[in-house]
Amino acid sequence: MLEQNELKKAGLKVTLPRVKILEIIESNPDWHMSAEDVYKELLNRGDDVGLATVYRVLTQFEAADILKRHQFEGGKSVFELISKGDHDHLVCIKTGLVEEFHDPVIQERVAAIAEQHGFDLTDYSLVIYGISDQAKNKKK
Amino acid sequence: MLEQNELKKAGLKVTLPRVKILEIIESNPDWHMSAEDVYKELLNRGDDVGLATVYRVLTQFEAADILKRHQFEGGKSVFELISKGDHDHLVCIKTGLVEEFHDPVIQERVAAIAEQHGFDLTDYSLVIYGISDQAKNKKK
DNA sequence: TTCAGTGCAAACGATTTGCACCGTA
DNA sequence: TACGGTGCAAATCGTTTGCACTGAA
């Protein structure tokens, strides 16, 4: 139900693939999923959706401001719900673990720097790379 | 001459392709070059180096801490000399213009956030996207 | 009914790799 | 001379696209 409203609001026809993909992403709010991840999840659920459609739908959702695309390192794009709100990311280079944080001081500095350089701020990307506690404990 | 020392210091045999590629990058300190850019520059100079070698050499330079790789948006990697020192980037989404800045406040916050989350800070990436003055003036 | 949406396979662009030859140390 | 380095072409990987078919409004 909820998905249908979101889709209509975005001017997207309510189709099975779109509803299913949105369901999957909304049911994994802590997981930054790639197109491949979503595709596999669909297969797991027995839903028959082509990989090309997953890519198309994710791109449409990004354009509709339902999802935000991130690159991190490693070539592949990952997506997360915009409704989760503003935040940046910490990525563990050993485990791939992704954590989120929100820092007003940084946001303020970013806005100030953009202005100083004569840029109309559109967006910014901040990713902190490091080795998480978990990864360190495993090593011992 | 200088290039030869840099290469030896990095444990890399001093070969023609490596010297030439390093020369090109050092002679364009304000240009964030892609593998393709370097390759074309080599062709312009009449040097016959394969694109595969450019990729291999750039990757080796990255591993040797001579270059830093950035992704920005658009899929392709660009490289710049590490010897230029610490800085982050502003990228104009209209023109592709790249400017650099250095902000101690942000660096301090990044370190603090990593620590709070139990991450050993390895690196971070901050890119501010916006529309530069130049792009705005063109539009008028 | 109609046209946007979809599945499939082929096309793509950036990057990597296998292999035989070449040039530094 | 020996072995790492190189050029070329083929292979990969994530992603996009052409086309005929399908299903939501």
Question: Which of B83, B98, B122 is the last residue in one of the domains?
Answer: B83
Q: State whether B50 and B71 are in the same domain.
A: yes
Q: State whether B32 and B59 are in the same domain.
A: yes
H or E, element range at B110: helix B104-116
If one counts the domains in chain B, the total is: 2
Cα of A35 vs its chain's centroid, Å: 11
Is the distance from CB of A22 to CB of A14 less than 8 angstroms? no
pTM: 0.91
Over residues B63-121, the pLDDT tens digits come to 999 999 999 888 899 999 999 999 999 999 988 899 999 999 999 999 999 999 999 99
H or E, element range at B38: helix B35-44
Would you give per-residue pLDDT tens digits along chain A (140 residues)? 677 888 999 999 999 999 999 999 999 999 999 999 999 999 999 999 999 999 999 999 999 999 999 998 878 999 999 999 999 999 999 888 999 999 999 999 999 999 999 999 999 999 999 999 988 786 54
Query: Residue A100 and residue A26: Cα distance in Å, rounded?
Result: 17
Structural domain boundaries, residue B97: 86-140
- Please enumerate in sequence order all residues whose Cβ is within 8 A of that of B95, keeping only pairs 6 or more positions apart, or say none: B132, B134, B135
Query: Residue A73 and residue A40: Cα distance in Å, rounded?
Result: 21
Is the distance from CB of B53 to CB of B39 less than 8 angstroms? no
Contacts with A122 from chain B: Cβ below 8 Å: 93, 129-131
Q: State whether B90 and B73 are in the same domain.
A: no
Question: Which of A68, A83, A98 is the last residue in one of the domains?
Answer: A83
Query: Residue B9 and residue B50: Cα distance in Å, rounded?
Result: 25
Mean pLDDT score of chain B: 93
Measure B128 CA to nearest chain A CA, in Å.
4
Q: State whether A49 and A101 are in the same domain.
A: no
Tell if the CB–CB gap between B109 and A110 is shorter than 8 Å. Answer: no
Q: State whether B72 and B119 are in the same domain.
A: no
Tell if the CB–CB gap between B122 and A129 is shorter than 8 Å. Answer: yes
Helices (H), chain A: 2-9, 16-26, 35-44, 51-63, 104-116, 133-139
Q: Which CATH number do you get for residue B42? A: 1.10.10.10
Q: State whether B52 and B13 are in the same domain.
A: yes
Q: State whether A15 and A79 are in the same domain.
A: yes
Q: State whether A38 and A75 are in the same domain.
A: yes
Distances (CA, A) of A46 to A25, A40, A42, A52: 16, 10, 6, 17
Nearest by CB: A114 against B73, B90, B136: B90
pLDDT of residue B44: 94
